[in-house]
Structure 1
Amino acid sequence: RVTFPIPGQGLPPEERQVILDLIAEAKADGLCTERACEVLGLSPRTVQRWQASVQSLPALAAAPPAVSRPRPYNALTASEAAVVIALIQSPKHADASCRELALALHTGPVPTYVSHVTVWQYERALNCNGPRGRQVVQSRNRTAPDTDWVNGPNQLWDWDITYLHTREPRVFLYLYSLLDHWSRKNIAWRISTQLISDEVQTLWDHGLINEGLLDQPAQTWPKSLSDRGAQMRSRSTVTYFQKLGIPQLFSRPRTLNDNPYIESHF
């Protein structure tokens, strides 16, 4: 059956007239109006109303006029809109988010009170709603860590932390493991009840001692490869590696293949 338009939306006058012509042709061939309406998926009362409107008041068959919506009382004026557009397109605020732009409008030389949603709508209309601020910085560091240069042991060490279940519910131990990227040797490992940066530093201290690297120049010490977990990027951990002169390499978020050896180790 033909599906009738959704409620609240009538058919255009030309389509109504086509349907009425089809029903008239069907009646001329011997089909009753009710059966023709059933085939078309229409109510006979609807067809009768269309016929009456066409016969008595042809003007009613015309399309309804477009409804003009009144302008909101709080809509931006032309001058205010110009200020918003100028701020969005200014190079000084190229990396500012819509919230920062709204705040800049509020605290500017000519205070203009505009919500961040309105600023975002203008950004979208101007095709300027791409990544801004911190999102731009994050999107630039989505490349895989370079490990093709590794051609021997103790050049790059992989490390990670995993949970160990205990007999008590919601109580875990934490396994810290350090692997050599080239030989897959387990350089050092620790089990702790705490998930803190001090355990990471102790793990690396034991690894350097186990491999006898403390007597070697710091420039020959291995680099670090890990994921972007909280303990890997905490201020204490970053400061520790900076003091030792060990560069940190990070895998991409939710990309296990960037550091596959330590991931498969667990």
Structure 2
Amino acid sequence: MTRLDDRQILTAEITEACAAGARLAPALGLAGIDVRTFQRWRDGDGQVRADRRPEAVRPPPSHALSEAERARIVELFNEPRFASTPPARIVPTLADEGVYVASEASFRRVLRDPGQMRRRGRARPLRSAGLPSTQVATAPGQVWCWDVTFLKAQVQGRWFYLYLILDL
């Protein structure tokens, strides 16, 4: 999406270039704009108009879940037997019983709205790993580093092992 002020600047510069003798298509090609896009930016008076996509009215798709179906998903999700079960296991369990309510993705999408897509179950929540501890050496022989590297030999399938130990 190009902002209105950027559109106005580009349109003014391209119009100025065309008035100076440049052809429209190469000038638009230099700016990276298609001819049809340039035509769409301008209305009948020659004024530049803003992008109308953000305020466009978009009807819900015909296959969208109804409010009753969404309520059924939330109700199933909150049943005691599924208290500690994620949607990835609820949907197959229901399928084994011969019940199909919605796909796993629909379960996740519906449950994200009321804020119910959190960790479920008895397992502890994930902890983020803390920052690694830094080692500070104030004298020789206090902190040592090591690494093992495999180096190819001239013979196929043979390796040299380089063991490297350094005093930090």
TM-score of the superposed pair, with normalisation by structure 1: 0.32
Q: What TM-score do the two structures reach when normalised by structure 2?
A: 0.44
Larger fraction in helix: 1
Higher alpha-carbon Rg: 1
